[in-house]
C-alpha cells in the first residue's frame, strides 16, 4: 500500500505508468490505446484524483447532506457536508477531495475533531481505527472563493453573472474538473451516493434551484434557505445550484403507461413568455426517448429545466438551459426544415447516459457522450424520419478528427481531448453498429434493454460490448477495439474490374486490429450487397449489372475509409 508521503517520493508519471501497466495487462487487447498515451505528462494531482487508491477504496459513500451559503457580493461560499459511509475494509485513514484554493476549516467525527493533511487537491484524514462494515458519518466544514469558470461549461467553475435588471444570476458547472472545486466529497466517477440532500442559502429575494425535489424553504433575517432532496444515485459533478430571481411554473408529463410526472421550469422573469412557448417541445422529447429507452429514469424526482448564464449541462433532474430559446445550437447546426432545441434534446439524453448509466473513469466518457449524441439522431428519426436522421449523422462526419483513440488513459483525472470524437465519432460508430446488426427490431430492443437492465449503475466499456455481443450472438470485440482503441478508421481496400454483365470486386480490410471482420455494404445505392471483408485475405465477388464507375461503399451507413488497391 502506498501512503501519501511515499507518493511524494516517486515521480507521478512513473507511479501512473506502473499502475496503468497492471491495468493494461487485464484489459488487453481492447486498451491498445495505452501506447498512444504512454508519453502523456500526468501530474500528481491527476493521479490522486483519478486513481482508486486504498484511502478511497476503504469506504463507500451512501449519502451526502450538503449545506452551502452563497454570498454573491463577495463571490464566496461557506458550508458543511455530512459524508455518510460504510467501511469496506478496516481503515484509519481516508481521502476526500477539495481544491487547494478552498479552505477546509475542520473535520469532525463522533464529537471530536480529526487531523488531516493536504496533498494538492486531495485531503487525507486520520481516523480512529474503523472496522470493516461500520456505518457512520463525518462532517467537513469549508469556505472560500471557488474557481470562476472562464468559458463555461467547457471549463469548470462558478459563474457569477447578473440578469438584465442587475440581479445576481449564479450557476456552477464542473464536469471534468470535478465537484471538489466547490464542496468536499469523494470525487471519483465510480462513487455515487444512493441519495442526497442539498441546502442552499441565498439573500432574499433570490431563488435557489438544485437537484431533486424541493422539500421546503426556511427564512432567517434577510436570507432564505432552499432544501432539496435527491432520491436517486447522483454523480458528484451533477450536483448543482442555480441562483436568480427566477419565476417558476409546473406542467405535467404523461407516460405511455398513464403515470404522470411534474415538469418544472425556472427562468428569468423577463423570459417567461418565450420560455413557456419554447419549452412546449419538452414532452415530445421525453416521449421519443421513452419510446427508445424506457420511461424517464428519475421519475420520482421529476424533470426540470433551469435557465443558466452558460449554454447547458446535464445536471440530474435540474438541466442547465442557456440556449437563448433558439432552435438547434444557438440557432445553427440543424436543417432549416427542423425545429428543435439542441440543449433540450442533448441534455435530456444525458439523463439516460451519463446520469442514469455512468462510467467509472474519465477514459470511458464515450459511454456518456457517444450514446447521448446518437440520441439526437434518434430524436430526429422519431420526429422527422429515418432519412433525416441519417442525414444529420452524416453532417457530423465533418467534426470527426481521428487524432487520438476515443478511449482515454485510465486512472487519471484527465480531460484533455483533442477534439470531440467521443461525441460525433462515437455517435457514428453506434450508427455503424446498427448497420452491422442489420435488423432494426433487434437493434432497438438491444438499445432499450441496455438502459433498462443497467439504469442507476456504472458500466465499463466491456459491459457495453458484452451486452451487444449477447444480443447479436457474435464477437464484437474486434469492432470496438478498432473503433475505440485506435485513432484511424478501418479502410476498405478494393479493386474493381469489368467483366461479363457486371463488375468483379476484390476487397479486404486494412485495420490495426488483425481480426477485424466487420461486414459492409457496397455496390449501387438502393441495391447494395453485404460483403464480409477480412484483414488477412483478399476476397472476390461478382456485382452483376453494375459498371465500375457506379461502385460505392455505403458510407452513409458505416464510418469507414475506402481506397482502390
104 within 8 A of 98, measured Cβ to Cβ: yes
Residues in the chain: 565
Question: pLDDT per residue over 78-126, tens digit each?
Answer: 999 999 999 999 999 999 999 999 999 999 999 999 999 999 999 999 9
Question: pLDDT per residue over 349-388, tens digit each?
Answer: 999 999 999 999 999 999 999 999 999 999 999 999 999 9
Which secondary-structure segment (H or E) carries 105? strand 103-109
**Region(s) of the chain under CATH 1.10.390.10:** 350-485
Coil, helix or strand at residue 205: coil
553 within 8 A of 522, measured Cβ to Cβ: yes
224: pLDDT strictly greater than 80:
yes
460: pLDDT strictly greater than 70:
yes
Which secondary-structure segment (H or E) carries 55? helix 54-57
Question: pLDDT per residue over 197-218, tens digit each?
Answer: 999 999 999 999 999 999 999 9
Q: Among the residues of 401-516, which ranges form H helices?
A: 424-437, 440-454, 461-472, 477-485
pLDDT average, residue stretch 485-513 = 93
pLDDT average, residue stretch 463-476 = 97
What is residue 33's DSSP assignment? Answer: G
pLDDT average, residue stretch 413-438 = 93
Arithmetic mean of pLDDT over the chain: 93
231: pLDDT strictly greater than 90:
yes
536 within 8 A of 509, measured Cβ to Cβ: no
Rounded CA gap, 72 and 41, in Å?
A: 37
Comparing CA positions, the residue from 169, 441, 452, 193 lying closest to residue 321 is 169
Count CB-CB contacts under 10 A for residue 173.
Answer: 27
pLDDT of residue 34: 52
**Region(s) of the chain under CATH 2.60.40:** 491-564
> 536 burial class (0-12, 13-18, 19+ CB within 10 angstroms)?
exposed
pLDDT average, residue stretch 168-188 = 97
438: pLDDT strictly greater than 70:
yes
What is residue 243's DSSP assignment? Answer: E
pLDDT of residue 235: 97
Rounded CA gap, 543 and 339, in Å?
A: 41
In this prediction, residue 7 has a pLDDT band, given cuts at 50, 70 and 90, of very low
Positive/negative CA dihedral, 381, 384, 388, 393: negative
- From residue 259, give the alpha-carbon distance in Å to each of 212, 254, 263, 296, 299: 19, 6, 13, 11, 10
When computed from its CA atoms, the radius of gyration of the chain, rounded to whole angstroms, is 25
Coil, helix or strand at residue 501: coil
E strands, 30-75, are: 59-71
Rounded CA gap, 278 and 271, in Å?
A: 10
> 2 burial class (0-12, 13-18, 19+ CB within 10 angstroms)?
middle
pLDDT of residue 30: 61
pLDDT average, residue stretch 283-300 = 98
pLDDT of residue 415: 75
pLDDT average, residue stretch 541-561 = 94
Q: Which pTM value belongs to this model?
A: 0.93
Question: pLDDT per residue over 516-546, tens digit each?
Answer: 999 999 999 989 999 999 998 999 999 988 9
Positive/negative CA dihedral, 58, 237, 357, 258: positive
Rounded CA gap, 405 and 559, in Å?
A: 15
Count CB-CB contacts under 10 A for residue 430.
Answer: 22
pLDDT average, residue stretch 443-461 = 98
In this prediction, residue 11 has a pLDDT band, given cuts at 50, 70 and 90, of very low
Compute CA 346 distance to the chain's CA centroid, rounded to the nearest angstrom.
11
Coil, helix or strand at residue 18: helix
Nearest 5°: the CA angle 65, 222, 145 is 55
Comparing CA positions, the residue from 163, 216, 169, 2 lying closest to residue 93 is 2
Rounded CA gap, 333 and 343, in Å?
A: 12
CATH number of 350-485: 1.10.390.10
pLDDT of residue 40: 82
Rounded CA gap, 385 and 381, in Å?
A: 4
pLDDT average, residue stretch 384-406 = 97
Per cent of the chain over pLDDT 90 is: 88
Specify the CATH class of 491-564 in words: mainly beta
pLDDT of residue 15: 36
Give the three cell numbers for residue 201: 442559502
What is residue 490's DSSP assignment? Answer: P
Lowest mean pLDDT among 10-14, 251-255, 476-480: 10-14
> 225 burial class (0-12, 13-18, 19+ CB within 10 angstroms)?
middle
39-62 core/surface letters (b: 16 or more CB in 10 A; e: else): eeebebbbbbbbbbbebbebbbbb
Lowest mean pLDDT among 28-37, 200-209, 293-302, 468-477: 28-37
Question: pLDDT per residue over 21-79, tens digit each?
Answer: 333 333 455 655 556 787 788 888 889 999 999 999 999 999 999 999 999 999 999 99
Q: How many helices (H) and strands (E) does the chain have?
A: 13, 29
Give the three cell numbers for residue 81: 457536508
402 within 8 A of 482, measured Cβ to Cβ: no
Coil, helix or strand at residue 481: helix
Give the three cell numbers for residue 216: 421546503
pLDDT of residue 3: 36
331-356 core/surface letters (b: 16 or more CB in 10 A; e: else): eeebeeeeebbbbbbbbbbbbbbbbb
Rounded CA gap, 398 and 384, in Å?
A: 22
Amino acid at each position: 500500500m502506498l501512503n501519501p508521503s511515499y507518493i511524494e517520493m516517486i515521480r507521478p508519471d512513473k507511479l501512473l505508468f506502473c499502475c496503468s501497466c497492471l491495468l493494461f495487462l487485464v484489459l488487453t487487447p481492447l486498451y491498445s490505446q495505452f501506447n498512444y498515451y504512454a508519453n502523456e505528462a500526468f501530474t500528481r494531482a491527476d493521479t490522486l484524483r483519478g486513481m482508486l487508491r486504498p484511502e478511497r477504496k476503504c469506504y463507500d459513500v451512501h449519502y451526502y447532506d450538503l449545506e452551502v451559503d452563497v454570498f454573491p457580493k463577495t463571490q464566496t461560499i461557506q458550508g458543511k457536508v455530512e459524508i455518510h459511509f460504510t467501511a469496506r475494509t478496516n481503515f484509519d485513514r481516508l481521502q476526500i477531495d477539495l481544491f487547494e484554493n478552498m479552505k477546509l476549516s475542520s473535520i469532525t467525527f463522533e464529537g471530536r475533531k480529526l487531523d488531516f493533511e493536504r496533498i494538492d487537491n486531495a485531503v487525507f484524514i486520520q481516523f480512529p481505527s474503523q472496522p470493516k462494515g461500520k456505518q457512520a458519518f463525518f462532517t467537513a466544514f469549508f469556505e472560500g472563493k471557488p474557481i470562476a469558470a472562464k468559458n463555461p461549461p467547457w471549463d469548470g467553475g462558478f459563474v457569477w453573472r447578473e440578469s438584465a435588471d442587475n440581479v445576481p444570476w449564479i450557476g456552477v458547472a464542473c464536469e471534468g474538473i470535478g465537484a471538489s472545486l466547490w464542496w468536499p466529497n469523494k470525487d471519483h466517477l465510480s462513487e455515487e451516493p444512493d441519495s442526497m440532500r442539498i441546502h442552499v442559502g441565498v439573500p432574499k429575494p433570490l431563488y435557489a434551484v438544485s437537484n431533486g425535489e424541493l422539500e421546503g424553504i426556511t427564512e432567517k433575517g434577510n436570507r432564505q434557505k432552499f432544501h432539496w432532496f435527491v432520491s436517486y444515485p447522483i454523480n458528484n459533478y451533477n450536483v448543482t445550484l442555480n441562483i436568480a430571481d427566477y419565476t417558476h411554473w409546473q406542467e405535467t408529463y404523461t407516460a405511455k403507461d398513464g403515470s404522470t410526472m411534474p415538469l418544472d421550469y425556472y427562468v428569468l422573469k423577463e423570459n417567461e413568455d418565450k420560455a413557456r412557448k419554447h419549452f412546449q417541445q419538452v414532452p415530445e422529447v421525453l416521449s421519443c426517448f421513452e419510446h427508445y429507452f424506457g420511461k424517464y429514469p428519475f421519475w420520482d424526482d421529476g424533470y426540470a429545466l433551469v435557465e443558466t448564464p452558460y449554454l447547458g449541462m446535464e445536471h440530474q433532474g435540474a438541466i442547465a438551459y442557456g440556449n437563448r430559446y433558439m432552435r438547434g445550437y444557438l440557432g445553427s447546426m440543424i436543417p432549416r426544415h427542423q425545429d428543435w432545441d439542441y440543449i433540450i434534446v442533448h441534455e435530456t439524453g444525458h439523463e439516460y447516459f451519463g446520469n442514469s448509466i455512468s462510467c467509472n473513469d474519465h477514459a470511458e466518457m464515450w459511454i456518456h457522450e457517444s450514446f447521448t449524441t446518437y440520441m439526437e439522431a434518434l430524436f430526429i428519426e422519431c420526429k422527422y424520419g429515418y432519412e433525416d436522421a441519417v442525414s444529420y449523422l452524416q453532417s457530423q462526419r465533418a467534426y470527426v478528427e481521428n487524432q487520438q483513440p476515443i478511449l482515454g488513459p485510465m486512472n487519471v483525472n484527465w480531460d484533455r481531448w483533442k477534439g470531440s470524437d467521443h461525441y460525433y465519432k462515437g455517435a457514428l460508430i453506434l450508427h455503424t453498429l446498427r448497420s452491422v446488426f442489420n435488423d432494426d427490431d433487434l437493434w432497438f430492443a438491444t438499445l432499450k434493454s441496455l438502459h433498462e437492465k443497467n439504469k442507476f449503475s456504472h458500466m465499463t466499456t466491456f459491459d457495453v460490448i458484452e451486452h451487444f455481443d449477447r444480443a447479436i450472438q457474435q464477437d464484437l470485440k474486434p469492432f470496438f477495439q478498432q473503433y475505440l482503441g485506435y485513432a484511424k478508421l478501418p479502410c476498405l481496400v478494393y479493386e474493381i474490374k469489368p467483366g461479363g454483365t457486371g463488375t468483379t470486386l476484390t476487397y479486404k480490410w486494412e485495420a490495426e486490429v488483425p481480426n477485424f471482420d466487420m461486414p459492409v455494404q457496397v455496390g449501387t445505392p438502393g441495391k447494395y450487397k453485404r460483403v464480409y471483408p477480412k484483414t488477412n485475405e483478399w476476397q472476390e465477388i461478382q456485382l452483376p449489372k453494375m459498371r465500375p464507375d457506379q461502385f460505392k461503399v455505403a458510407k452513409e451507413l458505416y464510418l469507414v475509409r475506402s481506397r482502390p488497391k
